[in-house]
Amino acid sequence: MKDKKLTIVTFLCNWCSYEGADKAGNARLECPANVRVIKVMCSGRVEPQFVIQAFKEGASGVLILGCHPGDCHYKKGNYKTIRRVNLLKKTLKQFGIEQDRVRLDWVSASEGEKFAKVANEMAETIKQLGPLSELNILEGVDYAEA
Amino acid sequence: MAKKISIDPITRLEGHGKIEIFLDDDGNVKNAYLQVPELKGFEQFCVGRPVEELARITPRICGVCPTTHHMCSTKALDAVYHVKPTETALKLRRLIYDAFMAEDHLLHFFFLGGPDFVVGPNAPAGERNILGVIGKVGVEIGKKVIDMRRRLRSIITHLGGRVIHPVCGLPGGISKGLAEDQRQAFLKVAKDSVEFSKFCLQVFNDIVLKNDTYLDLIVGDIFQHQTYYMGLVDENNKEDLYDGMVRVVDPTGKEYVKFAGKDYLDHIVEHVEPWSYIKFPYLKNVGWKGFEDGIDSGVYRVAPLARLNVADGMKTPLAQAEYEKMFETLGKPSHHTLAFHWARLIEVMYVCEEMVQLLEDKFITNPDIRNLPTETPDEGVGVIEAPRGTLFHHYKTDENGMVSGVNLIVATVNNSAAISMSIAKAAKNLIKNGKVDDGLLNMVEMAFRPYDPCLACATHSLPGKMPLIVNIRDKNREIIKKIKRD
Amino acid sequence: MPKPKVAFYWCASCGGCEEAIVDLNEDILKVVELVDIVFWPCAMDFKYQDVRDMEDKEITVAFINGAIRTDEQEEMAKLLRKKSLLVVAFGACSHLGGIPGLANFWDRKTIFESSYGKGCPSVDNPDFVVPQTVTEVPEGELELPAFHNTVKSLDQVIDVDYYLPGCSPAPYLTMQAIEAILSGELPEKGTVLAPEKTLCDVCDRNETKPEKMSISQIKRISEVIADPEKCFLAEGIICLGPITRAGCTEEGSGRCITANMPCRGCYGPPTEVKDVGGKMISALASILGLENEENMSDEDVEKLMNQVVDPAGYFYRFSLPTSLLRRKRMNNPAKEDK
């Protein structure tokens, strides 16, 4: 990721949201350029560790889009995603990472417009929040700050 | 030319320390400073944690006396949740605590402080360690010390889960009870430990008290400070280590104040200096007058000698007899810093006797070891006597028991001003006209070691050396003289 | 043939790892017959200059415990690296950052305030005097090492050959490590010298786990009397067994489990895991509310997850400095819940 500022790492599931994103593309709906897509088979595949890694690497936001609850291709994958993302966001808050930097939503294969809407909303939120501050390991002796 | 002598690091201390001694142009000591070059920040990083977890986090303040932090923290949890432990839980907590005090004090006597006496301050440096001690008392005894400590520590391991950072403390009780077969096994350990304490006091009597040179050193002026003393006492003003009221006596031995642990902020304040990370507690209502002795200075001392000075007596018979003997010899209160070593052994006797009493009571195997909290948590203070002094854990929480504030006054820290004073006094009395030699090194170390400054970590076998380097630097920090003791 | 030289050093340490060496009991006598201990500040009087005077790689193995918190500790770690053939990170603090690593949720300024300033109720310090690296006193100058803003593990400042995990490492593992070093039969560099299994694999309470684990409520250990035989997680009590390396006891359940207290993860994760918290969030969230997951509304989920208080403090208790994020972002304080 060359330009790390305001990058939104976006996980799309193979069966629903990826298709939805495709649809948005085909319909030439305007989508933000800083959304970087990673395709996974199911939103349930998205481990909290992936999200944390994304922030570590410099992402400013993470977007996870899966099938609507009840429609998961693997039946129950997305239910677990709901709970994991909830607990993850609480944990990230303790690291100084605002909860709004992570968003979980549902986009079916036919919902091109929803994809564009969610992606654009996320871009705006992240723009307001600004880039995630650099990992600030202050070396040395600056006692003037103490 | 003014000079600075550095001893860095001082060794056989919990955490890190160094001593800086400044000489004037005539080579006499102007002043000496003990600097503690580290801080961890427990008081801050405990904030935001569930309060019951503090009993598992705070022991990491010290891995030699984790049990003391664990117990004090558990008592603070009782206070925060307004819940009392069950009778059995209280007995078990006391049992664990007595076992810990015994093994920790024994470690210090045989491996750290003891060599100064058992082998002697004028003995060659290479002998002032456990090997020298074993040389004096024999290999069999050496093995017995290792074995005694191991058996005492096994009591803590069994009930606490692990001996380094035990985990059993909970608000209202403890997590694990004692079965009958274990009670009997531990009773044997306790009885053996009473016999062992008798032996230790006999060693001290034969090797130290019967030796005029050592006795002179103990009662001499170089290692004396007329300070206030602080310790816990029970309702009869007898020494108690696990619980009680905090009692302070003035340098004449008169009771100055007695307060409940939760009121510590009315009586203790900490002074900060920019040249050390450690703080310097003093008596609030007497005031900070600097690193000074006397009834007008708020400096006070804690730990074994202080506790015996503060108490009107010991709760158990053999320890009481020893207490009387010590004060007959030294007078009460005793201001003799080196007598901390003696007082420490008397405390070993007390806790071993108490362990026997606790284990002889079959009620200690009762399964009712926990009262569940029912009240909303808010704030509480736990106070306990650590081997090295009075320990306070003060926690504040929200209504969900999440920590919003922590304040700790940690045992040895109470002695930090006194340790600095002891080092300065020893240095001033021993270094004259720029002459620095082996005697300095011995005596300076002997000035801080009686306080058993927290880490009493020893090995079972040292390579026979206690080398020390003293660098004498001129104003430009060039080394102009190096004294090495191998 | 001269005996191999061994050094022990402690950085931001509590001393428990020194005690762990002492707990080798009689075995330490065997060790001392085979090696020369040339540096051990907690127990012997060798000074820093003695180490500086040594040849490079003169020390066969240095066991370094404690996290890196100050300049002095970082310098000593680098010095010992230079003078030693092998460096073993001994204990949770040097391996993972340990308990001192919890300070990475704060910064130096806040810590100083809570120790010396307005955050501390027992201090009388209206001018907010704080420790300085250099202080002028009437007699001359005094120096202190600088206090870093962020705690680090040992391998974040020097190259580390092996790790002995645990807070503190079990004596039997230490003995095995020493024997391996002396015999030269060492595994690949970077190995953690402890079993590859997790605590759950070896725990006596394993058999009490139901076929399908589902927790409907989290219970804090202070609120309940834990069943002395049942799996903690199955009962709703947070236990880090699934994500923690086994080894704290030679056989059977872990040390804390035998005292009827849940695991807090001091041995660190198994080898493949980079971020303890990430994995534990996944594991815990999966089983919390599993039974009813199809019927839970967003509010239900929120209410359920709120029962996990202080998730970062539970999951990163010992490993914050070596987690993926390493510390809290101080310039970016979390905005209030939206």
Residue A141 has pLDDT above 60, yes or no: no
For residue range B302-318, list pLDDT tens digits in order.
999 999 999 999 999 99
Band of the pLDDT at B441, cuts 50, 70, 90?
Answer: low
C-alpha closest to that of B152 among B122, B191, B202:
B191
Q: Which residues of C touch A98 (CB under 8 A)?
A: 332, 334-335, 338
Q: Is pLDDT of B253 > 80?
A: yes
Give the confidence band of A145 by pLDDT, cuts at 50, 70, 90: very low
Largest Cα span, chain A: 58
B162-189: average pLDDT: 96
Per-residue pLDDT for C261 more than 60? yes
Q: At residue A112, what is the residue type?
A: G
Closest chain B C-alpha to C131 CA, distance in angstroms:
4
Would the pLDDT of B478 be above 80?
no
Q: pLDDT value at position C142?
A: 83
pLDDT tens string C269-302: 999 898 999 999 999 999 999 999 999 999 999 9
Select from A48, A49, A96 the Cβ nearest to the Cβ of C330: A96
Identify the H or E element spanning B338.
none
What are the chain C neighbours of B261 within 8 Å (beta carbons)?
none
Q: What is the ipTM of this complex?
A: 0.92
- State the Cα–Cα distance between residues C106 and C121, nearest whole angstrom: 19
- Considering only CB atoms, B35 lies closest to which of C70, C103, C142, namely C142
Instruction: Output the pLDDT for position B17.
Output: 77
Q: Say how far apart CA C190 and CA C75 lie, in whole Å.
A: 22
Does residue B469 have a pLDDT over 60? no
CB atoms within 10 A of CB B400: 11
CB contact under 8 A, A133 and C333: no
pLDDT, averaged across chain C: 89
What's the gap in Å between the CA of C114 and the closest CA on chain A?
A: 12
Alpha carbon separation from A106 to A42, B232, C260 (Å, rounded): 12, 63, 43
Residue of A nearest to C70 (CA): A140
Phi, psi angles (nearest 5°) of residue B281: -70, 150
Instruction: Produce one character per residue of B9-32: b if its CB has 16 or more CB atoms within 10 Å, e if not.
Output: bbbbbbbbbbbbbbbeeeeebbbb
How far is B99 from B192, CA to CA, in rounded Å?
A: 12
* Among candidates C281, C302, C304 on the partner chain, residue whose Cβ is nearest the Cβ of A91: C281
Q: Is C130 on the interface with A (CB under 8 A)?
A: yes
pLDDT in tens, C175-219: 999 999 999 999 999 999 999 999 999 999 988 999 899 999 999
**A109-124 residue pLDDT tens:** 999 999 999 999 999 9
CA-to-CA separations, B454 to B98, B412, C149, C246, in angstroms, rounded: 17, 6, 26, 31
Whether residue C11 contacts residue C67, with contact meaning beta carbons closer than 8 Å, is answered with: yes
Residue C44 pLDDT greater than 60, yes or no:
yes
Pairing mode of beta strands B173-174, B169-170: antiparallel
B439-443, C102-106, C138-142: range with highest mean pLDDT: C102-106
As a whole number, mean pLDDT of residues B368-392 equals 96
How much is the average pLDDT of B437-456?
69
- Distance CA(B361)–CA(B158), nearest Å, equals 19
One-letter identity of residue B108: H
User: How do strand C134-137 and strand C36-39 relate by DSSP bridges?
Assistant: unpaired
Supply the pLDDT for residue B146: 84
Confidence of residue A140 (pLDDT cuts 50, 70, 90): very low
Residue of C147, C275, C324, C330 best to disrupt the A interface, most CBs of A under 10 A: C324
B393, β-bridge pairs: B382, B408
Q: Provide the pairing of β-strand C59-65 with C84-90.
A: parallel
Has residue B435 got a pLDDT over 90? no
* Spatial separation of the C-alpha atoms in residues C330 and C300, rounded to whole Å: 32
Pick the more confident residue, B309 or B15. B309
Percent of chain C with pLDDT over 70: 96
- List, in order, residues 6 or more apart from A87 with CB less than 8 Å away: A48, C281, C284, C285, C288, C305, C308, C311
* Highest-pLDDT range among B20-24, B422-426, C93-97: C93-97
pLDDT tens-place string over residues B45-72? 899 999 999 999 999 988 888 999 999 9
pTM of the model: 0.91
CB distance C42–B163 less than 8 Å?
no
Q: CA of C259: which chain B residue's CA is closest? A: B161
**pLDDT in the model for residue B131:** 62
Of residues C292 and B119, more confidently modeled: C292
Contact partners of C by the rule of 3+ C-beta pairs under 8 A?
A, B
Judged by CB atoms closer than 8 Å, whether chains meet at A93 and C334 is answered as: yes
What mean pLDDT value characterizes chain B?
A: 86
In 3D space, the residue among B19, B5, B80 whose CA is nearest the CA of residue B419 turns out to be B19
Q: Are strands B403-409 and B389-397 parallel, antiparallel or unpaired?
A: antiparallel
Judged against a pLDDT cut of 70, whether residue B23 lies above it is answered with yes
pLDDT at A2 over 50: no
